[in-house]
Each structure stands twice: as C-alpha cells, then as structure tokens.
Chain A
C-alpha cells in the first residue's frame, strides 16, 4: 500500500488497551523533552531574556492560532475578530489579578480562567447572532464585533482607555517560571483541541464544514455545535490574552486591532487550515521571523499579504493541508524510506 494519505486524521482509530498506554507515554515524553530542551537553557541563563521572551510569545501565539484554527479551519467559518477575544481575556485577567486581593499564586491562574470565561461570554453574545450568517457575511460581522470590542475598551474608564493599562501584579518576572506556565498551558490547549476534534463532537463540527445541510439532515444540531466551537475558540483566545497581559506588562487597545487578527489568520492559513501541527509550526515560525527580520519590520505586513495571496492561489489548504504529525506515520514513513533504499529497484514502501 502506498504512503498516500488515504485515511483522514480523524480516523486515527483509538488504539486498543496496551497500544494506547504506549501512545500516551510517548506523547508525554515528547512534551517533557520539548519542555526540557527549552526550560533548562532558560534556567541556567544560556538563553537570555530576549530569546526566552520570544519562546513565551511562541507559546501564546500557538494557543491563539490553534484556537482560531478550530473555528476557521475545522468548522470552516472565517472569523476576523479573534484579537478581540484575546483582548477581553487580557484585560479581564489583568484587572482581576490587580484587584482581587488574592495572593498572586492563586490570582494568576484564576485570572486566566476568568479571562477565558469572559471571552467565552463575548463569544456567546456575538456568536448567537453572527452564526446565523455564512461565509462573507459572518466574516464581516465578526470584524465588526472585533472593532466594537476595541471601541468598548477605549470607552470604558477602568480599562485605562487609550492610555492603556499597566499590569502591576504579575506572577513572576523570571523567564523560567513564566515559560513553564506558558508552555504547559499551550500544551494543554493543543491537547484539548486535538482531543475535541477526535471525539464525536469534533466529527460533527467537521461534518458541518463539509456540508451543513447534510449534517443537519444526519441529525447533527448544527446551531449548537457552531456555537460550541465558537465559544471554545473564544475561551482559549481569552486565556492566551491573559498570558499575554502578564508577559508584556502593559496593554493598549490599539494592539488588538484588525492587523493582529490578520496576523493570526495568516498563521492559520499558512500552517494549514485544519492542521493542528501546521498551526504550531507556523505560529512558531511567524513569531520568530519578525524578530529575526526586525530591520525589515516596515515590510512585514507587505510580505504577509503577499504570502497570504500566494498560499491561497497555489495551496489554499495551507502548507500542511489537513495533515497532522503522528509518531505512527513518522515511523511508517521512516520504515518505508528505509525499505526503499535497500531495494535498488526502488519499489514503494512495505505494507
């Protein structure tokens, strides 16, 4: 059998008993390894503050990209106001941390959750009317709501308005501590989204993207699932916002504008709509790249727009398409490559 991607990722059938433990362990080890690879150098200062800041930002952008991918890639509804949900979460968690009176060790995680919940609430309020529309109209209305959120933040006194908000109470200024928080929350987000997609709920969501009328006719409550996905996406964006607030220490509404929503969209589109792996990769690359190319920062949006257009013209499903990374496939791929090399005639990979 060829190594063609004939089975959809969703069908990575739940491995039975023993294989499942192996799979869990492998994933856990990989995550731990990844964490260690960065955390150790950060802790012993081989990575300085500047670079650890970038790593933290990568984690935050991963959460944002994966959550946007959930609603735009998996559900297939283009949302243009994602930065709005992030800003709601950012302000909420910052204000909570500063005013709750609780010790920061509790206020910070609680603030994150609260930020996510408030963002989810906004998601509900916006989603109920917005999700009655489709395609272009939905995109425009989310853009409109994103702008309204920005105006609201400007107008409300306790957010500091245009001058912005200084986050006076932060969990830690130590990079290694903060990186740990950011990394594990990002890993948790990836896990949540992955597990959601590979459940009956995620299946229904993808079915809605494929053919909403057929999904409804197959017994799927499309309104419920669209709203659910939208709210989950908003929640995660809110949590990312809270992380961001604590990281940069100062918030201004102008940061969370349409440009930022667009950057997030570029990350999703480039990585692959409906590929979590793709989102992780593109979020990482597109967080690092602007830093590397700081001298060219004035060209950044120009280049982004060209990238968007080119990707849409030539590979609209994004670089990874719908493919996901999986150890199984990697091992299978390596095996096949090895078998090919051993056979001088170069046949296709083994069974």
Chain B
C-alpha cells in the first residue's frame, strides 16, 4: 500500500511538472525555442498568488484567476519584447537561447529585488482531510492537484485538436510560412501559445504551493528544469508527450525519495535528462526532425 501511495504522490507532483512541461512543449512546437524563462513564470505566478491572497486578503479563487491572467500577460509581453524580433529575423539559435537566459535571470533578480531572497510563506491552500480514492487514502492536496491538472490537460488537448485556434496552432507549428499564406495571423497564434502556456504554469504554481508552501525568487529554476526534462522525455513539441513525461518524472522522483535518496533526486532527474538526450533525443512521442540536405 505504501508503494501505491508513493506512486500516487508521484503522479500528483508529476501532474504539476506536466502542466509546466506543456508550456515548454507548446512554445517549442511553434517557434522551436526552449523558453528558458518559462520556469520563472511559475515563480511569478506564485508571488502574484501570494500578493493577492496574503497581502490582499482576497479569496483563493480570486488569487488564482489573477495569477493566471498576470502570467499569461507576462508570457505575451516576454514574447513580444524579447523574442519576437529575433524570431522574425531568423536569428541564429544561440542568440535566442542567450536572450531566453537573459529573461530568466532578469525575472529572478527583479523579484529578488522586489521581495528579497528570503522565502515567503503561503498559507495552507487546500485545508481538509485526506480524500478516499478507491480505498486508498490520498492527501487532499494531491487529489486536487491530480484532478485539476488532468482536467486542464484534457481541455488543452480538446482546444488543440477541435477548436479553430487549435487548428491554427497546429498549422503554424507544422509550417509557419504556409500558415501565413493561408491567412493565419501567426503572430497572434504565437502570442496565444505563450499566453496559454504561461497560464497553465500559473495553475501549476498554485498547485505547487499547495504542496510546498514556501516561495522564493529562485524556485522556478529547479521546478522549471524538471518540467523541461519531462517535456524532453516525452518528446518536446508533443502535448501528450509532455503529460506523459511529467507523470514519469514525478513518479521517478517520488520513488527515489522513498528509496531514501532525497539528496540525489535532483541528480536522478538530471541523469534521466542526460540519458534521454543521448539515447533518444526526440523523446518518447516526439518526431526526429532531421535537417534536409
């Protein structure tokens, strides 16, 4: 039974990784950019939630909504100010990567200046007794996390596969030039993608704070990196891949902790990343896009 609850916990934290990984995957699918700053959006979401909830005294739902909106806006702004110019110029990959790193460092240090680097404490977001799922006792936070994440992921999948904007996203991701010729405003699509990815990250932030209520300006680093590993594991650019990868990483982490190695969980995740990159860089669900010669 203990093993099963480890798995469930792993799925819980994994679903957060999955939510964040979706942002990485979607953005990469559309503009082939690894948005280094995406992890820091989580941090932004956490602080906004903190401000509205603790400083503002508003109810949780208001804080969540504000966080989602703020992060979505932040994502769009970042794309517009930092990335768009380079993307349209077809700048070399290295320039985009350096810019993304710059944005990440900027966010971290900005929030450090605003809030100091000492951790802020969030109240218990999801108070209440554990929930019973099929005979298994699951922590309330984990249950809420799982339900919320899975719902959102299903909604996203529906959005991408059934809606008009989803079709536009898929078209832009396949062939930006052709999409433009078909009358799709690729700029809007890109902005929308960043917004959705960042919004999901905001939800991930709130759920994360439910489980780990301490926030600091650098929390996005490790979390973002693990989510990135999840995205790569599942195949960057693939939405189901991001979900699957997230769950895998979460479970791996949970099992490693249970096996007594909480010091080395980070190293394990890094190790998975290196293994995946070396053995199967396209990930589990990704496609190997080779350069045409």
Contacts and interface: CB of A to CB of B under 8 A. Distances in A.
Which bucket holds chain B's interface residue count? 35 or more
B86 A313 contact: yes
Which of B94, B110, B273 neighbours the largest number of chain A CB atoms within 10 Å of its CB?
Answer: B94
Contact of A316 (B91, B108, B228, B273): B91
B267 interface: yes
Given A302-B113, A305-B103, A313-B85, A135 B94 contact: yes
Contacts of A313: 82, 85-86, 99
A93 to B, nearest CB: 26
Given A76-B94, A312-B98, A133 B277 contact: yes
Interface string B105-141: 1101110110000000000000000000000000000
B222 to A, nearest CB: 10
Which of B91, B97, B104, B108 neighbours the largest number of chain A CB atoms within 10 Å of its CB?
Answer: B97
Contacts of A144: 270, 273-274
Contact of A308 (B101, B108, B266, B267): B101
Interface string B58-87: 000000000000000000000000100110
A135 B93 contact: yes
A141 B278 CA distance: 9
Interface string A281-309: 00000000000000000110110111111
Contacts of A141: 273-274, 277
B181 interface: no
B199 to A, nearest CB: 23
Chain B residues touching A, majority SS: helix
Contacts of B106: 302, 305-306, 309
B95 interface: yes
A269 interface: yes
A78 B270 contact: no
A103 interface: no
Interface in A131-153: 132-133, 135-137, 139-141, 144-145, 147-148, 151
Given A78-B98, A308-B99, A312-B99, A151 B267 contact: yes
A316 B281 contact: no
B94 A302 contact: no
Contacts of A145: 274
Contacts of B274: 129, 141, 144-145
A72 B97 CA distance: 12
A80 B105 CA distance: 14
Contacts of A78: 94, 97-98
Contacts, number: 92
Contacts of B99: 308-309, 312-313
B293 interface: yes
A277 interface: no
B67 to A, nearest CB: 23
A188 B110 CA distance: 40
B102 interface: yes
B30 to A, nearest CB: 15
A34 interface: no
Contacts of B252: none
A310 to B, nearest CB: 9
A273 B248 CA distance: 39
A147 B113 CA distance: 25
Given A305-B103, A308-B102, A140 B34 contact: yes
A210 B109 CA distance: 35
A240 to B, nearest CB: 22
A213 interface: yes
A262 interface: yes
Interface in B198-250: 228, 232
Contacts of B82: 309, 313
Given A140-B277, A302-B109, A305-B105, A147 B270 contact: yes
B92 interface: yes
14 contacts: A129-B274, A133-B277, A135-B97, A136-B93, A139-B97, A140-B34, A148-B270, A262-B101, A269-B98, A301-B105, A301-B108, A305-B104, A312-B95, A313-B86
The 9 lowest CB-CB distance pairs between A and B, nearest first, are: A308-B102, A305-B105, A305-B106, A302-B109, A309-B102, A135-B93, A316-B95, A312-B99, A136-B34
Given A265-B101, A316-B95, 7 more contacts: A133-B277, A141-B277, A213-B293, A304-B105, A305-B106, A308-B99, A309-B82
